[in-house]
Amino acid sequence: MNPHSFFVAGTDTGVGKTHVTALLLTEFRRRGLRAGAMKPIACGSGGRCDAEQYAALMNHEQPLDVLNPIYLRHPLAPLVAAKLERRRMDLHRVFANYHLLATNYQPLLVEGAGGLLVPIRRNYSVADLARALNLPLIIVARLGLGTINHTLLTVRQAQAMGLKIAGIILNDITGSQRGLAEKTNIKAVPELCGVPLLGVVPHGNGTAAARQICRLLLR
């Protein structure tokens, strides 16, 4: 187990995994750490943007193909996209690139694709990839109505597969006025999941939240 590298898992696609990863990467590097991030599998036209963002934050020290070894054109689950494109994904490249990066960057943040049970191959999901990399999860969830269910489903699945969980980050993706769900999530989600809340990332500038989260992750 590498305690200073993490697998950034989402409760869904579009919940803010890249946004949060970029914030943490920026904060780790501001602290003088040689931090890095990768997106092993990206799908869809916007998919490679995630790794492009990480490459820029890492001063383009690594080529995009190292940070993102597998890129599929369709915005679909990797298994489905690969079938459509008649491609077989070479997961060896994912592991080789991960090991290359993990020896050069600490902490290394590995962004998943969609949620935990998104299929990469038949009978091989994003959660299997996290387990193969032996990394603790940072679970990113939307702040708002529905999040207790999504987060609990993710936590229960991770625990059933023996994955470690570093904590949960609630991300305010909409920035709309906080109602009762948003306010009560902050106490209810960690309590019901039995997993620590690392922080709440506000809409817009998340620098202060990232500082607090990085402090907790480095403890």
Ligand X SMILES: Nc1ncnc2c1ncn2[C@@H]1O[C@H](COP(=O)(O)OP(=O)(O)OP(=O)(O)O)[C@@H](O)[C@H]1O
- Interface residues with Mg ion (CB under 5 A)? 17-18, 50
- Segment interacting with ligand X (CB under 6 A) among 6-14, 96-104, 119-127, 185-193: 6-14
* Token pair belonging to 100: 């290359």
Catalytic: 39?
A: yes
With respect to Mg ion, which residue has the nearer C-beta, 10 or 136?
A: 10
Residue 204 touching ligand X (CB under 6 A) = yes
Binding mask 87-126 for ligand X (x = CB under 6 A): ---------------------------x------------
How far apart, in whole angstroms, are the C-alpha atoms of residue 80 and residue 87? Answer: 10
Nearer Cβ to ligand X, position 75 or 194? 75
67 SS3 class: helix
Rounded to 5 degrees, φ, ψ at 63 are: -65, 155
Structure-block tokens of residue 94: 């994912």
Contact 156, 187 (CB under 8 A): no
79, 89 contact by CB (below 8 A): no
Active-site positions read 39
What residues line the site for ligand X (CB under 6 A)? 10, 13-19, 50, 114, 171-173, 201, 203-204, 206
